[in-house]
Structure 1
Amino acid sequence: MTPFTLPFTAARADIDELGHVNNAVWVSWVQTLSVSHWEAVAPPEHQAAHVWVVTRHEIDYRGNVREGETVTGETWVGEPKGARFDRFFRFTGVDGRVRVEGRSTWALLDRHTGRLLRVRPEFAAPFLT
């Protein structure tokens, strides 16, 4: 399976007092990467009827990113488990070194009722090819 990719460039507002991308910004980038993947791959009818919410983030910080630096975010999903998907992610610098990687768990909800839904094969298929 080929990961979905998206570039991110650290802006001045992303930088913390230590001079590198703040932890909260990394979480925001994971969210942006994940939602962009959903919007790029899921059929419009699935997007209109369903929404994903995070139930857990695990993040390993491997290196720093400073203002003006660009990383490439990559994401892919594992096999669904009931109403949840584990989504894996990695952010790599232009030098090929991984800066941040981890896993998030996402739950599928009915957009209109807010109820948890089992991830049926037709929802998972576009992400597993």
Structure 2
Amino acid sequence: MSAPFEKVWTALPEHIDELGHVNNAVWVTWIQDMSTSHWRAVADADHVAAYIWVITRHEIDYRGNIMVGERVTGRTWVDGTPRGARFDRRVDFLNDAGKVMVSAKTTWAIIDRARGRIVRVPDGVAANFV
């Protein structure tokens, strides 16, 4: 498991659905933002320039709600080693009390920018995340 990367969000009025809490689609956007922010923060600049990551699968458990004005801390890490072109990432969102509100396992595939094709995760790329 890689070291966790964290980012904090505050729920704004535009994040709130008709039930009065953060909309599920917003959580998906935050998952993607967490993952790409982690990639840019940890990966070598040459790797960021050479590769793009795309999501191939989401598994999300919604365990609680966040209302407007409340904060969550997103925590993400790579779970395990790559399998060919893919690897799994975990993302948890914790409220200020430390309770996991949303937990996700996402699977990402790497694309070579120059060729526009999925490739095996290079060892040098994986080294920064496992």
User: How many residues in Structure 1 have an aligned counterpart in Structure 2?
Assistant: 128
- Counterpart in 2 of 1:86? 88
User: How far has the Cα of 1:114 moved from its partner?
Assistant: 1.3
C-alpha distance in 1 between matches for 2:114 and 2:30: 26
Structure 1 residue runs without a partner (length 5+): none
Flag the structure with higher strand content.
2
The alignment's TM-score, normalised by the length of structure 2, stands at 0.96
Deviation at 1:112, TM superposition (A): 2.2
SS of aligned partner of 1:64: coil
For normalisation by structure 1, the TM-score amounts to 0.97
Structure 2 residue 98 is matched with structure 1 residue 102 = no
CA distance in 2, matches of 1:33, 1:96: 18
Q: Percent identity?
A: 56
The runs of at least 4 consecutive aligned structure 1 residues that moved more than 4 Å come to: none
How far 1:25 moved relative to its partner?
Answer: 0.1
Give deviations 1:37-76, integer Å, cap 9, x for gaps: 0000001100001000000111000000000111000001
In 1, the alpha carbon distance for the partners of 2:113 and 2:54 equals 11
Q: Decide which moves more: 58-67 or 119-128.
A: 119-128
1:70 maps to which residue?
A: 71
Q: Specify the alignment match of 1:112 in structure 2.
A: 114
| Structure 1 counterpart of 2:28 | 27
* 1:115-126 equivalent positions in 2, closer than 5 A: 115-126=117-128
Root mean square deviation, CA, Å? 0.7
Query: What amino acid does structure 1 have at the position aligned with 2:6?
Result: T
1:120, distance to aligned residue in structure 2 (A) = 1.9
Structure 2 residue 15 is matched with structure 1 residue 14? yes
The one-letter code sitting in structure 1 at the alignment partner of 2:96 is V
**Per the alignment, in what secondary structure is the counterpart of residue 126 of structure 2?**
helix
Provide the rounded CA distance (Å) in 2 between the counterparts of 1:96 and 1:17.
26
Deviations 1:19-41 (CA, angstroms, capped at 9, x unpaired): 00000000000010000000000
State the SS of the aligned residue for 1:13. helix
